[in-house]
Amino acid sequence: MGWRHLLFANYPVPPATVDAHLPDALTVDTFDGDAWLSVVPFTNVDVRPRGLPPTVGLDLPELNLRTYVTCDGDPGVYFFSLDAQGVLSVLGARVFHRLPYYYARISLTGDGDGGVRFVSRRLHPGDRPAHYTATYRPSGPAFESGEDPLAAFLTERYRFYTEGSDGAVRYANVDHEPWTLHPARATQETNTLFAANGFDEPSSEPVYYYSPGIDVTASRSLRWNGRNDRTSVEAEA
């Protein structure tokens, strides 16, 4: 798949704020003592099983709320929610990756001034509503994520963790080139993702990054069995 037109809206919060919402096996990862909650709107392009050509792929806009964790010391991302357009894609991600996907109606368009206009409204039956409206754009020259320690902490993550229905930690590995980022300017007009996930609205000012995107491959979902058998388990992917 490809991830395109991304905004990373990153909020520093006290670690205890995040820790109360995590599975017991995961530990909050911090930067300079802060945990982080990130709102990330973007669009997936050419989503398809590995080995198939891009022409059979789907384009699916998405919005997620995530944080940063470790599991037995291995860093990754933990998603509180992922809103996406496409009923079958949402069902597939829930079944095969055990991720908290929700069906939403989403539009991503140009704003006529070189920026991106992103509007999402959750329509998933039986779940809390979540609305998000924002306009964002790059506001400075491009830089490589590795040039900035905070940017690297927030974006260079190559694993995501989730919790299975049996309470076991599961994970998938992702592979991509290092991020090319820009400082960004954003106007978030409506954002109820925090409330929908049981968080108070952060009082901190967000740090914004924009990326035009990268291409990504992801492994299947695997059960976490601890660091001692990590190599053999990952070999299955």
Domains and CATH numbers, the chain: 2-235 (2.40.400.10)
pLDDT by 10s per residue, the chain, length 237: 789 999 999 999 999 999 999 999 999 999 999 999 999 999 988 654 555 555 545 668 999 999 999 999 999 999 999 998 865 565 555 555 568 889 999 999 987 778 999 999 998 877 788 999 999 999 999 999 999 999 999 999 999 998 877 788 889 999 999 999 999 999 999 999 999 999 999 999 999 999 999 998 888 888 888 764 444 344 443
* pTM for this predicted structure: 0.88
**HEC sequence for 109-156:** EECCCCCEEEEEEECCCCCCCCEEEEEEEECCCCEEHHHCHHHHHHHC
CA distance 128 to 182: 33
- pLDDT computed for residue 70 by the predictor: 96
Q: Does residue 14 sit in helix, strand or coil?
A: coil
**Longest CA span, the chain:** 53
Phi-psi label, residue 46: left if phi above 0, alpha if psi -120 to 50, beta otherwise:
left
Distances (CA, A) of 42 to 14, 82, 169, 217, 236: 26, 11, 26, 16, 30
- pLDDT computed for residue 184 by the predictor: 97
CB 36 within 8 A of CB 67: yes
Residues β-bridged to residue 74: 71
- pLDDT computed for residue 91 by the predictor: 53
Q: What is the DSSP letter of 22?
A: S
- pLDDT computed for residue 89 by the predictor: 60
For the chain, the C-alpha Rg in angstroms (whole number) is 17
